[in-house]
Amino acid sequence: MKLFLTTVTLIFSLTNLGCQDVPDEQKVLFGNEVLLNEHLELLKGKRIGIVTNHAALLPNKVHLVDSLLSLGINVIKLFSPEHGIRGEYSAGQFISSATDEKTKLPVFSLYGDTKKPTTEMLNNIDLILYDIQDIGVRFYTYISTLYYVLEAATENDIPVIILDRPNPLNCIDIAGPTLEINFKSFVGIAPIPVVYGMTAGELANYFAENHLIVSKKPDVRVIKISGWKRSYYWKELNRLWIPPSPNIPDFETALVYPGTCFIEGTNIAEGRGTETPFLTIGAPFISSEDLISKLNLINIKGVSIEPANFTPAEIEGKAVNPKYEGVECNGIRITITDEDDFKPVDFSIYLIHSLLQLYPEQVKFNEQHFDRLAGTDKLRLELLSGKDPSNIIGAWQQDIEKFNLERKKHLLY
């Protein structure tokens, strides 16, 4: 298996890593850049394992692993999350461990036979680095990988350094139901809301301080982002968007994903098998005109909705057996017009409510999957009962306020 490593030559000095000479417009430095600039001594003499994937690039498009190897850092093992070390596997695809052809390093899959590093995998490792770009949504499984890495590291007395990265959605907004512990799964690893408004480093501290990992506190250090503000969206970073997974191809998709991912738990197509997943929603039995008319009555802010006609098809590395493969679907195409006004989770509740009102006999839930995404069965049952969406959304606020009070104790920025 070839790794994500770039073809850029690996023989260069630290000043050529794209970290020392930062152009004026590059005001935000990610944790991996700060590590290389200021904290390399933390790695000297250590046998390093790195939990990462294709998105861990420096501004010069050289991968963190390449950079560390070129500097003589003793990287001995790599660990890959869902979608693989190069981000080329579609959602849910089983990934086997392998050896990287270029570096000859073992790559241990954390989305295959096990989702938690085993003691054998961690053998001979002195320090773990975690550098994965997340998008700030509970059911995006990279935070579940973070959780299990912290748990395994704690059980094996290995310290972890989180190379922090911006949350593309900003780190102010919090939304959605809080997971009930009976619904814990790999798409819902901890009792937090759907949109939790934290970076990976902050979330790691939250897991650790709230004893959500194991009774023993993990040895965690966060290399903070430099020059970043909680209010920033990705577009304000002046950074290339590297799809963190195959079906989040751009920032607009990341903005809508916290809401329209709920469509996965129904028999409505969420756009997999098209070039605009999660922005295109539909099914053979839907009338675009009727659905748009229904949604327009709600006057949802920050979004434009247009008719869509599409036929899902299998796309290698992006969509395997998409819903309604080869069948013409009608529905809507979503365009975000104002990310500050748009509330993706709220939008999804109004969308599903409207679909149930228009097509009560046709719309079906995959109960287990939907409830895992929601972190509760209450949302599905309330939607089926016809409860007003504003009341459904309002009922989350008390839990969100409680979470926010605890969350503030662990904020780094």
pLDDT attached to residue 87: 65
Question: What's the whole-number mean pLDDT along residues 320-326?
Answer: 96
The set of residues, in sequence order, having a beta carbon less than 8 Å from that of 109 and lying 6+ positions away, is 79, 80, 84, 95, 96, 97, 98
Mean predicted lDDT score pLDDT of the chain: 92
Is 70 exceeded by the pLDDT of residue 22?
A: no
Q: How many of the other CB atoms lie within 10 Å of CB of 402? A: 11
The continuous run of DSSP H or E covering 76 comes out as strand 75-80
Question: 82 vs 23, which has greater pLDDT?
Answer: 82
Q: Please determine, looking at this structure, whether the domain spanning 251-376 carries the CATH number 3.65.10.10.
A: no
What was the pLDDT predicted at 26? Answer: 56
CATH topology assigned to domain 14-244: Rossmann fold (3.40.50)
pLDDT band, residue 353 (cuts 50/70/90): very high
Under the banding of pLDDT at 50, 70 and 90, the label for residue 23 is: very low
Residue 1: is its pLDDT beyond 50? no
Higher pLDDT, 17 or 352: 352
Q: What is the pTM of this model?
A: 0.92
Structural domain spans, the chain: 14-244, 251-376
Confidence of residue 104 (pLDDT cuts 50, 70, 90): confident
Contacts 24+ apart (CB under 8 A), 86-90: 86/2, 86/3, 86/4, 86/53, 86/54, 87/4, 87/53, 87/54, 87/55, 87/243, 87/244, 87/245, 87/246, 88/54, 88/246, 88/317, 89/246, 89/317, 90/246, 90/247, 90/317, 90/318, 90/319, 90/320
Could you report the per-residue pLDDT of 126-179, keeping only the tens digit for each?
999 999 999 999 999 999 999 999 999 999 999 999 999 999 999 999 999 999
Residues 40-75 have pLDDT tens digits of: 999 999 999 999 999 999 999 999 999 999 999 999
The CA distance from 376 to 368, in Å, is 10
> Pick the residue with more confidence: 379 or 215?
379
Q: What is the pLDDT of residue 84?
A: 77
What is the pLDDT confidence band of residue 98, given thresholds at 50, 70 and 90? Answer: confident
Same fold, 14-244 and 251-376: no
List pLDDT tens digits, range 255-301. Answer: 999 999 999 999 999 999 999 999 999 999 999 999 999 999 999 99
**pLDDT surpassing 60 at residue 389:** yes
pLDDT reported for residue 68: 97
Note the pLDDT tens digit of each residue in 179-238: 999 999 999 999 999 999 999 999 999 999 887 776 688 899 999 999 999 999 999 999
